[in-house]
Amino acid sequence: MIKIAMPYSKSDLPTKICPVCQRPFTWRKKWADCWDDVKYCSERCRRRKSTSQ
């Protein structure tokens, strides 16, 4: 099997810090159109936002 090199590495992707769990999370392809609006790393953190603020 021939392995094709990715045009980018995962370490080159943008990251943000989740305000709920304080963990870094990385850009995902499904967030390509709304990356500026993404605030939480997961649905769980999005639901817990009111308890942490």
Please, which pLDDT band fits residue 11 given cuts at 50, 70 and 90? confident
Tell me what the mean pLDDT of segment 25-46 comes to.
94
φ and ψ of 11, to 5 deg? -70, -15
Higher-confidence residue: 46 or 7?
A: 46
**pLDDT value, residue 41:** 94
Q: How many domains does the chain have?
A: 1
Higher-confidence residue: 36 or 6?
A: 36
Asked if residue 40 belongs to a domain, the reply is yes
**pLDDT value, residue 6:** 64
How deeply is 28 buried, as exposed, middle or buried, from its count of CB atoms within 10 A (0-12, 13-18, 19+)?
A: exposed
Alpha carbons within 13 A on the beta-carbon side of 10: 3
The model carries a pTM of 0.70
Range of the domain at 16: 12-52
Asked if residue 3 belongs to a domain, the reply is no
- Output the furthest CA–CA distance in the chain (Å, rounded): 50
Residue 10 has pLDDT above 80, yes or no: no
